[in-house]
C-alpha cells in the first residue's frame, strides 16, 4: 500500500478498559454495511486487543434506521458503555459512524449527543483528471482514476471513497470538465462496466458518481452532424444515451458540463442559450433521477486587451442572470466563488445574488492553481468561511452565500502521490472543505485544530502546524498579488510572478498598471461591473471611499499615492506587504525545521523541500512585484529597503 492514510491513520489509544465490542445493525442499506466495516476496522486499530462478540460486550454499538429529515441525517448518542446510531438512511449511519470515530480519537470515550443533517444537500468533488492519466492543474502526481485511457479501481480507490465519506462528500465527478483525448467516450459501452464497479464502490460510501460530458457528443460520439439542443434527433440521441448509461452504471448521479467556455462546445454554436442546452440534457436524465450540473464559467477568452469595455468579470452574470427561473428542476448551476478564476482574492461572484429561482451551487478550488500549487502552504479554509458568510442581499434574510446555495463543489487537489495532496499540509484543505460543506457553521480554526490532531500525534507539531496553516493565506496574499488585482502570475503555468504576463493577452485579465495608476475601473464610470451587485454592496463597491481596501484594485483604478483606510499609500502598502509576506514565509520554514523528529521523516523531508521552494518563490514574487511598481511609480520605499 503505497499511500498515506491522511486523517484516517488510526493509532491505538491507551488505558481504555474495553476488551470486547459488539456492533449490531438492523439496516440492510449498503452504506450501513460500510458503517459497520468502518467501526469494526477502526475499533480493532484503536484497541488492538479487542474481541468482537455478539453479546455481553464492554462497548455496544447499535445501528438502525428511522425516518428523518434526510437519508443523510443521523442521531448519535454515546457514553463509555457504547453508542446508539440512528440514520435517516444508510448514508446517515455511515456519517454517524465516522463522527463517533472522530470524536473518540479526539476526545476519548465521552458522552455524546449529536443530531445532524448536512447543511448542504450536494457536497461534491470535481476531478480534472484526463483519461490519459494526466491531471489538469494537478499538483499531486497523476490520476488514480485513469491510466492510459483505462478506468482503474484498486485499493487506492477504496481508500479515497473512505476519505470522502469520512468528511461527508456525497458526489464525485471523476474526469476533467475539458472533455478531451477520448474522454468523450466515457459515456459509451466501452466504460460502462468499470464505471458501474466504481459507482457501486462509491454507493457503499454514500457518493454519487458524476461524469463530465462533451456537449457535442452527438457529433464526436454519435457521428451526427449537429449537437443543436433543440434538434429532435439530438434530444433523442441523448435520451437513449442516458437510458443506456443509467441502466448499466450503478450509482450514477448525472453529468457535469462545461459548455461554451474556453473552447468547449456548447449551445451558442446553434444560436441557443444555456437553458436550452442544460434543459435538453436534464430531460434525458430525469427519468433516472439524474442531475445536470452546468458550469457558469463562461466568458470571452479571445478578448482584445485594447478593449476596455468588455469585462470578463461581468460575463457569467450577463449570460446567466437573464435565465433565472428558466432551468429545469434537475439542473444545478455551478458558480465559481469569484467572477474571475480562483484568484487569491476576488469579490464574491455577483450571480449568487441574482439567481433566486434557480438551483445553484458554489465551485471552489482545492487544487492550488493560483495559490502556490501545493508547493506553497496556503490554507484556504478561512477564505471559504468568509465566502459562505458573505451577504448577497438577494433576500430580506437568508441571504448569505451559504443560504442561497444547495450545494458546493471543489476542484480536487488529490493525485497518486504518496500523501495524496502533494504536500501533506494541503490535505487540510480537502479535509476542511468536506467538514465545512457538511456543517457550514464550523470555524476555520476549529477545523484546522481537528485536522492536525487527527493527522499528527505530537502536541508541539500540532500547534506549530496549526499556526502555519492559519497564517498561510495571509502570507501568500501579501507576497503575491496586491489589493485584489489578480493575475500577476506567469501565463499558462500560473506559478511565479510575471506582472505583465497577461497584460496584452486574450484572457481578459489585466491590471492596467502604468506610471500614474493601477487597477481596473469596474465602477459605474468604468466597466460597470460593480452595478451587478445588490444594494448596499453596489454602492459600497462602486465608490473608492467605501470599497474594501483588500478589493480596491479589483474595482478601481487609483494613483499610487492613493491613501488606504489605514492612511498608507497604495505603493507603500505594496512594498510593506511584500516584505512582510516574505518574512512570514521565512518564519513558516523556520518553524517547520523544528519539527524534525516530531513528525515522520517522510512528511518532514517533503515539507522541507516545499518550504525551500516557497521561500525561493516568495522572494522572487517580493522582488519582482516591488520592482515592477517602483519602476512605474518612481516612488521610493519610505523604509529604504532594497528594491531593484
| Catalytic residue annotation | 262, 341, 369
Task: Compare residues 136 and 550 and give the one whose CB is closer to ligand GCU.
Answer: 136
Q: How far apart are CA 173 and CA 369, in angstroms?
A: 19
Residue 297 touching ligand GCU (CB under 6 A) = yes
Minimum gap (Å) between residue 278 Cβ and ligand GCU: 16
Query: Cα dist. 208→72, 91, 123 in Å?
Result: 13, 11, 10
Q: Residue 373 Cβ, how far from ligand GCU at the closest point, in Å? A: 12
Q: What single string gives the DSSP state of each residue in 389-439?
A: H-B--SSSSS-BHHHH-SEEEEE----SSTTSSSSGGGHHHHHHHHHHHHS
Is residue 177 near ligand GCU by the rule CB under 6 A? yes
CB of 376 to ligand GCU, least distance (A): 17
Closer CB to ligand GCU, residue 369 or residue 417?
A: 369
Considering the rule CB under 6 A, would residue 573 count as an interface residue with ligand GCU? no
- State yes or no: residue 215 binds ligand GCU (CB under 6 A): no
CB of 140 vs ligand GCU, minimal distance in Å: 15
Interface positions, 360-379, toward ligand GCU (CB under 6 A): 369
* b/e burial code for range 533-549 (CB count within 10 A of at least 16 → b): bbeebbebbbeeeebee
Nearer to ligand GCU, 57 or 177 (CB): 177
116 scored as a contact of ligand GCU (CB under 6 A): no
Residues 580-609 that bind ligand GCU (CB under 6 A): none
Complex with ligand GCU: residue 152 or 301, whichever CB lies closer = 301
Binding mask 334-363 for ligand GCU (x = CB under 6 A): -------x----------------------
407-411 and 122-126 strand pairing: parallel
Give the list of residues 6+ apart from residue 8 with CB closer than 8 angstroms, or none: 159, 162, 163, 166, 454
Choice between 137 and 440, CB closer to ligand GCU: 137
Interface with ligand GCU includes 136 (CB under 6 A)? yes
137 binds ligand GCU (CB under 6 A): yes
Beta 208-212 vs 171-173: how paired, if at all? parallel
Closest to ligand GCU by CB, 507 or 579: 507
All cell numbers assigned to 283: 430531460
Q: Assign 602 to helix, strand or coil.
A: helix
* Cβ count within 10 A of residue 381: 25
| Stretch (H or E) spanning 318 | helix 312-320
C-alpha cell at 355: 439567481
Note whether 491 and 594 are within 8 A (CB): no
Q: Is 178 in the site for ligand GCU (CB under 6 A)?
A: yes
CA distance 224 to 220: 8
Regarding 489 and contact with ligand GCU (CB under 6 A), the answer is no
DSSP 255-299: EEE--SSTT---GGGGT--HHHHHHHHHHHHGGGT-EEEEE----
Q: Which is nearer to ligand GCU, 96 or 488 (CB)?
A: 488
Establish if 258 lies at the interface with ligand GCU (CB under 6 A). yes
Task: Give the count of residues interacting with ligand GCU (CB under 6 A).
Answer: 9
Q: Is 39 in the site for ligand GCU (CB under 6 A)?
A: no
300 contacts ligand GCU (rule: CB under 6 A): no
C-alpha cell at 503: 497584460
Name the residues that contact ligand GCU, by CB under 6 A: 136-137, 177-178, 258, 262, 297, 341, 369
Amino acid at each position: 500500500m503505497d499511500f498515506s492514510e491522511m486523517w484516517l491513520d488510526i493509532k491505538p489509544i491507551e488505558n481504555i478498559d474495553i476488551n470486547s465490542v459488539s456492533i449490531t445493525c438492523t439496516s440492510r442499506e449498503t452504506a450501513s454495511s460500510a458503517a459497520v466495516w468502518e467501526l469494526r476496522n477502526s475499533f480493532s486499530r484503536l484497541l488492538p486487543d479487542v474481541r468482537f462478540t455478539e453479546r455481553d460486550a464492554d462497548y455496544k454499538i447499535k445501528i438502525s434506521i428511522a425516518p428523518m429529515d434526510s437519508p443523510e441525517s443521523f442521531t448519535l448518542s454515546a457514553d463509555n458503555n457504547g453508542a446508539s446510531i440512528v440514520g435517516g438512511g444508510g448514508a446517515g449511519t455511515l456519517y454517524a459512524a465516522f463522527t463517533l470515530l472522530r470524536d473518540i480519537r479526539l476526545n476519548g470515550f465521552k458522552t455524546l449527543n449529536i443530531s445532524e443533517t448536512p447543511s448542504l444537500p450536494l457536497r461534491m468533488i470535481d476531478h480534472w483528471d484526463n483519461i490519459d492519466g494526466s491531471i489538469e492543474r494537478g499538483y499531486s502526481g497523476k490520476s488514480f482514476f485513469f491510466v492510459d485511457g483505462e478506468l482503474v479501481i484498486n485499493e487506492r480507490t477504496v481508500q479515497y471513497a473512505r476519505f470522502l465519506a469520512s468528511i461527508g462528500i456525497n458526489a464525485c465527478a471523476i474526469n476533467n470538465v475539458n472533455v478531451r483525448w477520448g474522454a468523450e467516450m466515457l459515456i459509451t459501452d466501452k466504460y460502462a462496466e468499470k464505471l458501474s464497479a466504481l459507482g457501486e464502490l462509491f454507493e457503499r460510501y454514500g457518493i454519487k458518481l458524476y461524469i463530465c460530458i462533451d456537449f457535442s457528443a452527438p457529433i464526436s460520439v454519435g457521428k451526427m452532424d449537429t449537437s443543436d439542443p433543440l434538434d429532435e434527433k439530438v434530444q433523442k440521441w441523448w435520451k437513449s444515451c442516458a437510458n443506456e448509461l443509467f441502466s448499466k452504471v450503478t450509482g450514477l448521479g448525472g453529468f457535469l458540463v462545461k459548455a461554451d467556455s474556453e473552447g468547449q462546445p456548447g449551445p451558442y454554436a446553434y444560436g441557443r442559450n444555456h437553458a436550452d442546452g442544460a434543459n435538453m440534457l436534464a430531460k434525458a436524465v430525469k427519468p433516472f433521477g439524474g442531475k445536470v450540473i452546468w458550469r457558469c464559467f463562461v466568458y470571452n477568452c479571445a478578448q482584445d486587451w485594447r478593449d476596455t469595455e468588455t469585462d470578463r468579470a461581468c460575463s457569467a452574470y450577463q449570460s446567466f442572470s437573464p435565465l433565472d427561473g428558466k432551468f429545469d428542476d434537475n439542473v444545478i448551476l455551478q458558480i465559481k466563488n469569484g467572477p474571475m478564476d480562483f484568484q487569491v482574492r476576488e469579490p464574491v461572484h455577483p450571480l449568487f445574488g441574482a439567481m433566486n429561482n434557480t438551483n445553484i451551487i458554489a465551485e471552489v478550488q482545492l487544487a492550488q492553481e493560483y495559490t502556490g500549487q501545493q508547493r506553497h502552504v496556503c490554507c484556504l479554509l478561512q477564505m471559504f468561511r468568509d465566502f459562505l458568510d458573505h451577504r448577497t442581499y438577494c433576500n430580506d434574510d437568508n441571504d448569505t452565500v451559504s443560504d442561497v446555495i444547495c450545494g458546493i463543489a471543489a476542484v480536487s487537489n488529490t493525485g497518486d502521490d504518496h500523501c495524496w495532496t502533494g504536500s501533506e499540509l494541503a490535505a487540510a484543505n480537502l479535509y476542511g472543505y468536506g467538514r465545512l460543506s457538511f456543517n457550514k457553521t464550523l470555524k476555520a480554526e476549529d477545523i484546522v485544530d481537528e485536522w492536525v490532531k487527527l493527522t499528527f500525534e505530537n502536541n508541539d507539531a500540532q500547534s506549530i502546524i496549526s499556526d502555519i496553516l492559519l497564517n498561510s493565506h495571509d502570507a501568500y496574499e501579501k507576497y503575491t498579488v496586491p489589493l485584489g488585482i489578480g493575475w500577476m502570475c506567469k501565463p499558462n503555468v500560473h506559478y511565479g510572478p510575471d506582472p505583465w504576463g497577461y497584460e496584452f493577452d486574450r484572457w481578459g485579465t489585466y491590471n492596467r498598471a502604468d506610471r500614474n495608476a493601477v487597477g481596473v475601473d469596474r465602477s459605474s464610470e468604468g466597466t460597470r461591473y460593480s452595478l451587478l451587485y445588490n444594494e448596499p454592496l453596489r454602492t459600497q463597491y462602486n465608490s473608492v471611499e467605501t470599497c474594501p481596501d483588500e478589493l480596491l484594485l479589483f474595482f478601481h483604478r487609483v494613483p499610487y499615492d492613493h491613501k488606504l483606510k489605514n492612511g498608507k499609500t497604495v505603493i507603500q502598502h505594496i512594498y510593506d506587504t511584500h516584505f512582510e509576506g516574505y518574512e512570514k514565509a521565512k518564519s513558516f520554514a523556520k518553524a517547520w525545521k523544528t519539527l524534525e523528529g516530531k513528525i515522520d521523516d517522510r512528511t518532514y523531508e517533503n515539507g522541507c523541500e516545499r518550504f525551500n521552494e516557497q521561500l525561493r518563490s516568495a522572494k522572487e514574487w517580493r522582488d519582482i512585484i516591488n520592482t515592477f511598481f517602483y519602476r512605474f511609480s518612481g516612488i521610493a520605499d519610505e523604509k529604504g529597503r532594497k528594491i531593484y
